[in-house]
Structure 1
Amino acid sequence: MTETVETLFDQGIERYQAGESPETLLPLFKEVCERSPKSSPAWTCLAWLYLLDNKPSQALKAAQKAVKLNPQDPQARVNLAVAMLETAKTGVREHVEIAEQLIMAVPELREEVKKNCEDGLSRKPNWKGLIRVQNWLFGS
């Protein structure tokens, strides 16, 4: 029996939250993105996992898709900004400013992005790109 895309996605999130490594979760989220190519949350997660796994070029592509599918998702913007920093692309400020506007408007989004930044730094300490974006969004 084939599992639904939603089930796979939820299992991936649970496994991530349980501490499973990005490296082992990447194939699952790649499959979710292949089976549901218009799912912004799936592309956002895939970009995050690529960033955690030190694959900024792949992260950049996934984050660009996530932002294209849902320009109002601040986490997708954060992922894109971090990937751009790590691949030495220009235009980072625009995405950080949009993310900042979105998290200022919706307190729940602010808390979610803040929590995700903290999670990222707990999994990958001294993550320069994320630290820079976090400082821009929340102050140092």
Structure 2
Amino acid sequence: MTQTVETLFDTGIERYKAGESPEVLIPVFKEVCDRAPKSSPAWTCLAWLYLLEGKASSALKAAQRAVKLNPQDPQARVNLATAMLDSGKAGVREHIEVAGQVMMAVPELKEEVQQSIQDGLSRRPEWPSLIRVQNWLFGA
């Protein structure tokens, strides 16, 4: 029996939280994105997994899609800014500013982004681009 997109997404999130590797989870989230191409959360997760695997160009494409679908999602903006830094692309400031503005307006989102960055640095320590994004958003 085929899982629903929602079940597949939720299961993928639980597997990630349980410590499963991004490499194993990328195909799961690619399937979710294929089956639900207008799901910003799915594209945001896929971008994050690519970033954790050091696949900046794939992360950049997924993050751009996520931001296009939901321009007010600070995590999508953080992913895009990080992917741009990892890829050597210009234009990062706009995404940092939007993420910062949304997080000021919605404190719960600020907390989620802080937790996400901490998770990223625990899975990929000394990640220069993510550390820069963290410093811009939350101070050094």
TM-score calculated relative to the size of structure 2 = 0.99
Task: String of CA shifts for 1:62-119, please: whole Å, max 9, x gaps.
Answer: 0000000000000000000000001011100000000000101110000000000000
Supply the AA of the counterpart residue of 1:24: V
Gaps of 5+ in 2: none
The corresponding residue for 2:61 is 61
Structure 1 residue 50: deviation in Å?
0.1
Supply the AA of the counterpart residue of 1:116: S
Supply the AA of the counterpart residue of 2:39: S
Q: Find the residue that maps to 1:2 and give its secondary structure.
A: coil
The corresponding residue for 1:105 is 105
CA–CA separation in structure 2 for the residues paired with 1:6 and 1:63: 20
The corresponding residue for 1:94 is 94
CA–CA separation in structure 2 for the residues paired with 1:106 and 1:135: 19
CA–CA separation in structure 2 for the residues paired with 1:118 and 1:103: 16
1:79 aligns with 2:79: yes
Q: Find the residue that maps to 1:46 and give its secondary structure.
A: helix
CA–CA separation in structure 2 for the residues paired with 1:54 and 1:83: 9
Task: String of CA shifts for 1:15-50, please: whole Å, max 9, x gaps.
Answer: 000000000000000000000000000000000000
Aligned pairs, how many?
Answer: 140
1:122 aligns with 2:122: yes
The corresponding residue for 1:30 is 30
Supply the AA of the counterpart residue of 1:110: K
The corresponding residue for 1:47 is 47
Taking only the aligned residue pairs, the percentage that are identical comes to 76
Cα RMSD for the two superposed structures: 0.3
CA–CA separation in structure 2 for the residues paired with 1:54 and 1:71: 24
